[in-house]
Amino acid sequence: MKNIIVLIVTVVFVACGAQKTEHNVFGKWSVKFKSGPLAEVRFHKDGTHDYIIDGKLFSSGKSVFSNDTLKTFDPICNDEGEYYGIYKVDFLQGDSIRFIAIEDSCKPRVYDINNAVLHRINP
């Protein structure tokens, strides 16, 4: 009897430990920028993203996700080419993420995105 209980506990422990949470950032997110506007951010599986403010496209660029890191490129800073940023992505309660700046060459983006919490918009 003890062997069966030990076996059941072991199977449950192994099964729970084997489950890996898959984080998915692709889709639509809402965020309130520190500078004021409420925005929608769309991360596409093809490696592009869009920022929508007041229903209008504000900026588009490229994004690369790797583990818990986002590398983003877009021309939103002074229209002088593509400015890159690297952010740690904290996955919060299932439908929220937070970006923490590691490095960014665009000060307005750092101001608005660093420590910002994005909330998933369900389709």
Query: Does 58 or 5 have the greater pLDDT score?
Result: 58
Structural domain contains residue 13: no
Structure tokens of 5?
């209980």
Residue 2 tokens, joined: 């003890």
Which residues have a Cβ under 8 Å from the Cβ of 49 and sit 6 or more positions away? Answer: 41, 42, 43, 60, 61, 62, 63, 72, 74
Q: DSSP class of residue 13?
A: H
pLDDT for the residue numbered 9: 46
Q: Is residue 42 part of a domain?
A: yes
CA distance 58 to 46: 19
Note whether residue 78 is domain-resident: yes
The token duo for 72 is: 């983003």
Mean pLDDT in residue range 103-117: 90
Residue 34 maps to a domain: yes
48 part of a folded domain: yes
Q: What's the mean pLDDT in 103-110? A: 87
Question: Residue 80 sits in a domain of what CATH number?
Answer: 2.40.128.640
Rounded distance between C-alpha atoms, residue 93 and residue 97, angstroms: 8
Model confidence over 81-106: pLDDT tens digits? Answer: 567 899 999 999 878 999 999 999 88
Please tell me the distance from the alpha carbon of residue 119 to that of residue 5, in angstroms, as a whole number: 42
Q: pLDDT-derived band of residue 79, with 50, 70 and 90 as boundaries?
A: low
Q: State the residue range of the domain holding 55.
A: 22-121
* pTM (two decimals): 0.75
> Is the CB of residue 42 less than 8 Å from the CB of residue 74?
no
- Mind listing the pLDDT tens digit for each residue in 3-52? 555 445 444 444 454 455 567 889 999 999 898 889 999 999 999 999 99
The first and second tokens of residue 57, run together, are: 């496209």
The structural domain count of the chain equals 1
Please indicate whether residue 1 or residue 63 has the higher confidence score (pLDDT). 63
